[in-house]
Structure 1
Amino acid sequence: MEDHKKKAQVSKRFEGKVAIVTASTQGIGFGIALRLGLEGASLVISSRKQKNVDDAVEKLKGEGIEVFGLVCHVSNKEHRKNLIEKAIEKYGRLDVVVSNAAANPSVDSILEMKEPVLDKLWDINVKASILLLQDAAPHMKNGSSVVIISSIAGYKPDPPLSMYSVTKTALFGLTKALAAEMAPDTRVNCVAPGFVPTNFASFLTNNDDIRKDFEEKTMLNRLGTTEDMAAATAFLASDDASYITGETVVVAGGMQSRL
């Protein structure tokens, strides 16, 4: 059987194109940036910490990818504006925006969650995508693409991730609404990852029993990889998906999401 972790043979679907990926120095975001870069995109990556940005830029340049990085707290208006402005200043165009940033600051129940925590969840997980695209949209021309990263949890908001999951549910609706607003020049789609063992999902990497339970809930008997999520995102962002907009693709190994 072919190893699912085997490095994908990539085409060059993004040659001559410029892509911004938020929260892209680790985990799924870095995987997406790497895939787009290997397919020829000039990349603008970002993270909250300068060291993470520097480390990621070095790794990507080591793969022969054209890239520069910026510190960007997506809930910060000036940081978002700077991210777009610097991308246009350096590359003169913007073809792909991948909104990947997310936060999960609490596992409290919804009825016990404090208002500042609620604000942070909605600000980063939902509002930041809207506000980033308000800045980016004027620069996105015919054939451009947006991919919003949600979660399979958005289909089934269970404790202890209920409120986080509800923000991810909102992204499904946001994708539909933005697809209508940004058509016909810009397509907007969504990826709903299953469970991927990253630093963000440390409960999967730190507890063998939990990991095994999630693996058994999939049809493929394994968790997802950052490469799996990157491949789906690259497809939706590429011209191969030129007649797909307003859709959510679940990438979860057959884990139950919807009929």
Structure 2
Amino acid sequence: MNKNYIIVGGSSGIGFEITKQLSESGNKVIVLSRSKGNLDTLSNVKHISFDITSELMPEITVDSIDGFAYCPGSINLKPFHGLKLADFQQDFEVNVKGAIKTLQHFVKQMKNHGNASIVFFSTVAVQQGMPFHASVAVSKGALEGLTRSLAAELAPKVRVNCIAPSVTDTPLASRILSSEEKKEASGKRHALNRVGTAEEVAKLATFLLSNDSSWMTGQIIGLDGGMSSIRPL
């Protein structure tokens, strides 16, 4: 049976790959994002223009929602002494406040549905301390806390899980993966000797959004080439 999904930030990077995989399986997807990107190349996809830093949500009426994924993120890598409070505030706006605002708009329909799934995105840098990641780790750490709290509060009707990737080859990471040399150097920091792809992360997200993961909730799942648990020799 075809399902209905909300993907926030679904026009680029991992979000676009999630939208693509869901639509190719015959599902209907509503994408909220600033730009439309290549969404016209996909079937069963409706785009709604929305900036997550805006205070107002667009008017969206959906009778039933099977799954919700919040994909916007930030990579704000600076030494702690160079970070201003505004940097922390901006990362929190994008990673946490935007997730709360959009999910609150749809959570009632998901609870009424009775068998829905929510997917958030964190980073390996929350559990694996890394220099220059203070601002993004603070906000993504808050999102991990939100994942567990909502998983407890919304069970058993709604499952909530979070993926914590390492660096992934997406437009968001283009500045730090801007050449083959940089990609190779970044890949060598991982046990599997390469960076991840948007398609790989999206496959895990679509699994978590589906009934195939129906006995999984409250989990922070590392998808990081082994970085969080393995030290290559």
Could you tell me the TM-score, scaled by structure 1's length?
0.81
Residue in 1 that maps onto 2:162:
190
Matches within 5 A, 1:95-110: 95-104=66-75, 106-110=76-80
Instruction: Give the distance between the partners of 1:169 and 1:208, measured in 2 at CA.
Output: 30
Q: CA deviation at 1:87?
A: 4.8
Alignment partner of 1:229 out of 201, 220, 225: 201
Instruction: Give the distance between the partners of 1:194 and 1:22, measured in 2 at CA.
Output: 20
Matches within 5 A, 1:164-243: 164-243=136-215
Residue in 2 that maps onto 1:68:
46
Q: CA deviation at 1:157?
A: 4.1
1:163-208 Cα distance to aligned partner (Å, 9 max, x none) = 1122122222111011011111000001112221111101343144
Change (3 A) 1:258 1:130: farther
Matches within 5 A, 1:136-151: 136-140=106-110, 141-151=113-123
Contact 1:203 1:210 in 2 (8 A): no
- Corresponding position: 1:18 with 2:4: yes
Larger helix percent:
1
- Corresponding position: 1:58 with 2:40: yes
**Which residue identity is paired with 1:100?**
C
Q: CA deviation at 1:154?
A: 2.0
- Corresponding position: 1:86 with 2:60: yes
Q: Following TM superposition, where does structure 1 have runs of at least 4 consecutive aligned residues deviating by more than 4 angstroms?
A: none
Could you list the runs of 5+ residues in structure 2 that have no partner in the other structure?
A: none
Residue in 1 that maps onto 2:21:
35
Instruction: Give the distance between the partners of 1:144 and 1:224, measured in 2 at CA.
Output: 27
Q: CA deviation at 1:39?
A: 2.1
1:52-72 Cα distance to aligned partner (Å, 9 max, x none) = x1x422121xxxx20110111
Instruction: Give the distance between the partners of 1:29 and 1:98, measured in 2 at CA.
Output: 8
Alignment partner of 1:112 out of 82, 105, 111: 82
Query: What SS does the aligned partner of 1:214 have?
Result: helix
Instruction: Give the distance between the partners of 1:201 and 1:172, measured in 2 at CA.
Output: 21
State how many pairs are aligned. 229
Q: CA deviation at 1:231?
A: 0.6
Residue in 1 that maps onto 2:30:
44
Instruction: Give the distance between the partners of 1:245 and 1:192, measured in 2 at CA.
Output: 15
Query: What SS does the aligned partner of 1:122 have?
Result: helix
- Corresponding position: 1:129 with 2:107: no
Q: What RMSD, in angstroms, separates the aligned Cα atoms of the two structures?
A: 2.0
Could you tell me the TM-score, scaled by structure 2's length?
0.90
Residue in 2 that maps onto 1:6:
none
Contact 1:126 1:167 in 2 (8 A): yes
Change (3 A) 1:159 1:240: same
1:93-125 Cα distance to aligned partner (Å, 9 max, x none) = 211110111234x43333432222221111111
1:139-178 Cα distance to aligned partner (Å, 9 max, x none) = 1121101000112122224233321122122222111011
Contact 1:175 1:246 in 2 (8 A): yes
Q: CA deviation at 1:215?
A: 1.3
Contact 2:74 2:91 in 1 (8 A): yes
Q: CA deviation at 1:209?
A: 3.7
**Which residue identity is paired with 1:153?**
A
Contact 1:97 1:145 in 2 (8 A): yes
Instruction: Give the distance between the partners of 1:210 and 1:161, measured in 2 at CA.
Output: 18
